[in-house]
């Protein structure tokens, strides 16, 4: 499959011993097709190593319910308009065994009736953190702390901030959906105009 990405930063050749190691790790995790962002990051190996290390540590966080974390990430990616991140996020939700019928509703959560009040609060918070300038309120945070506890809200806040980093990098680099979600049962819903921020 040819990549739909525009690669504003040209693709680097992934070569050498480190390149072979990175390819092996990526293929073990994702299959034969390498993620487009790997070709961009390979221009600067210290940045690639830092992002990979940090991403692994983020995946190990466990205070926040993984379903809420996934919803927050997808909502943030939807606001930014990162099709690569929405595609990959849906793929990861599939791999994590989440309810895909519900996951595909995230970009249109305001119109959907499948989310609980807590899930709606998390989705609203993720969007409020992501828009520029952020629209997070004291009441919004206090309400989430009351429902989830401070440790989970710290994790939620950082998960959204990290997704902002990924989505903004991928969008700026010209990366687009690679079809990771094609292996999943349901297609990802398109964001509505109101959710695009």
Q: What percentage of the chain exceeds 70 in pLDDT?
A: 92
Domain ranges of the chain: 16-59, 66-196
Q: What is the DSSP string of 90-158?
A: HHHHHHTT--HHHHTTGGGTTT-S---HHHHHHHHHHHHHHSSS----HHHHHHHHHHH-HHHHHHHHH
pLDDT greater than 50 at residue 191: no
* Non-local CB neighbours of 195 within 8 Å, separated by 6+ positions: 75, 78, 79, 107, 108, 109, 110, 127
pLDDT for 193 equals 37
pLDDT greater than 90 at residue 181: no
Fold held by 66-196: AhpD-like (1.20.1290)
Q: What pLDDT digit, counting tens, does each position of 53-72 carry?
A: 999 999 999 999 999 999 99
d(C-alpha 68, C-alpha 15), whole Å: 38
Q: Residue 186 — pLDDT band, cuts 50, 70, 90?
A: very low
CA distances from residue 193 to 76, 97, 152 in whole angstroms, order as listed: 14, 29, 30
Span 95-114, average pLDDT: 93
């Amino acid at each position: 499959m040819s990549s739909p990405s525009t690669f504003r930063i040209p693709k680097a050749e992934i070569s050498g011993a480190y390149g072979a190691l990175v390819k092996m790790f990526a293929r073990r995790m994702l299959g034969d097709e390498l993620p487009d962002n790997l070709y961009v990051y390979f221009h600067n190996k210290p940045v690639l190593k830092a992002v990979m290390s940090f991403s692994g540590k983020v995946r190990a966080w466990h205070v926040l319910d993984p379903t809420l974390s996934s919803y927050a990430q997808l909502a943030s990616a939807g606001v930014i308009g990162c099709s690569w991140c929405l595609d990959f996020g849906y793929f990861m939700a599939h791999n994590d065994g989440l309810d895909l019928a519900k996951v595909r509703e995230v970009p249109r959560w305001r119109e959907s009736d499948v989310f609980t009040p807590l899930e709606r609060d998390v989705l609203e918070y993720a969007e409020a953190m992501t828009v520029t300038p952020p629209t997070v309120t004291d009441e919004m945070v206090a309400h989430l702390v009351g429902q989830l506890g401070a440790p989970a809200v710290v994790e939620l806040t950082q998960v959204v901030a990290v997704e902002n980093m990924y989505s903004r990098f991928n969008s700026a680099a010209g990366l687009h959906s690679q079809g990771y979600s094609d292996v999943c049962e349901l297609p990802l819903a398109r964001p509505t105009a109101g959710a695009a921020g």
